[in-house]
Structure 1
């Protein structure tokens, strides 16, 4: 009888210790990866950049699953692969959804609130749940420079609308603790001209690091300046001025 009592007490102590240790470990953030377009090398490169610090779930449709499952498992072995048909039960609270590649069609539909594809419907679910969404800058379609100015302005207007929705756009997704996009700690470029013309169509915080304090950065009328870029410019004494 004494042995049984001692054993039960030992079990209770071990259970309490495990619970305390589990509570001390930082909870993993739910990170969902959605492919709005065809799976390509940009998707693989993004998956390789992920860390086990996040609870990564990759959402693929049934047709994609047979073709890309092996690539996903090799690029990100700790990720879970879930079919889009089973995604409705996934929790969105305190999660982050990343679109590694997003076509211009997806951007337009997202800005207009059209939900005729899984990627667009998932975005609407994120909005409804108040969860964070990020578009990788490297996965956005680039302008060739030959498009009519009116067309470029219209497309950039859709990007601005996504920024107004609270979607972040940049080379890296927001940090799990601060919510801000991490930026590389590059050394300032010596001899930088105080007034610099920037031709980028989307200006992020990472683009500001080559410039010294006091630099005036001239951007085009239709350049999208992210909120993080504005905050970074203000804190670093860089003026962003539209031409």
Structure 2
């Protein structure tokens, strides 16, 4: 058995123990939904998670068998429990969902009530189960500034609609309520 295999087994064991403790203590969970692609903005969340010990942290990824994505997620928070979008995760009204990066297409889909991607589907599921959904400053895909003014206005309206639906904008995960 290689060292990396042993490390992975130990990380999974610790994550499972933490999950079992969560069930007995009725703690809320923090879910982090990662986009299909890796974005450097995810490292901003990593810096925030370094000192985060308030509740168990679970990653939701689209491809749990993608070794590169899994390596990067484990790099962010080593004792993270991984879930696939296909796992049909059951959220509670006490849980928190953080989106470290949300592509513009997903913003539009969520604002219009469509589930066109894994990310928009998990947000819809969180909404229907009463889970608080948060975005960070790094979550927002910026405009280039070269777009026509009507296009910029339209995109801003989609973001506004997202916030009207209950997605909360916070500067740091410690501000989740």
TM-score normalised according to structure 1 size: 0.57
Unpaired segments of 5 or more residues in structure 2? 1-20
Pairing 1:148-163 to 2, within 5 Å after superposition: 148-163=148-163
Offset of 1:28 from its aligned partner? 3.7
Q: Which residue of 2 aligns with 1:146?
A: 146
Higher strand share: 1
- Per-residue CA deviation, residues 157-208 of structure 1 (Å, 9 max, x unaligned), is 11111111111123224635xx2xxxxxxxxxxxxxxxxxxxxxxxxxxxxx
Structure whose alpha-carbon radius of gyration is higher: 1
Offset of 1:94 from its aligned partner? 0.8
TM-score normalised according to structure 2 size: 0.76
Q: Which residue of 1 aligns with 2:81?
A: 80
Unpaired segments of 5 or more residues in structure 1? 1-21, 180-243
**Structure 1 vs Structure 2 CA RMSD:** 2.2
Are 1:121 and 2:121 an aligned pair? Answer: yes
- Per-residue CA deviation, residues 76-130 of structure 1 (Å, 9 max, x unaligned), is 01211112222x1433331110110111111111101110211111111111111
Q: Partner of 2:56: helix, strand, or coil?
A: strand
Pairing 1:1-243 to 2, within 5 Å after superposition: 28-50=27-49, 51-62=52-63, 65-86=66-87, 88-173=88-173, 175-176=175-176, 179=177
Give aligned pairs, total. Answer: 152
State the distance in 2 between where 1:102 and 1:89 align.
19
State the distance in 2 between where 1:174 and 1:133 align.
14
Offset of 1:27 from its aligned partner? 5.6
Pick closer, same or farther for the CA change 1:70–1:173 going to 2, 3 Å.
same
Higher helix share: 2
State the distance in 2 between where 1:160 and 1:64 align.
35
Q: Partner of 1:163: helix, strand, or coil?
A: helix
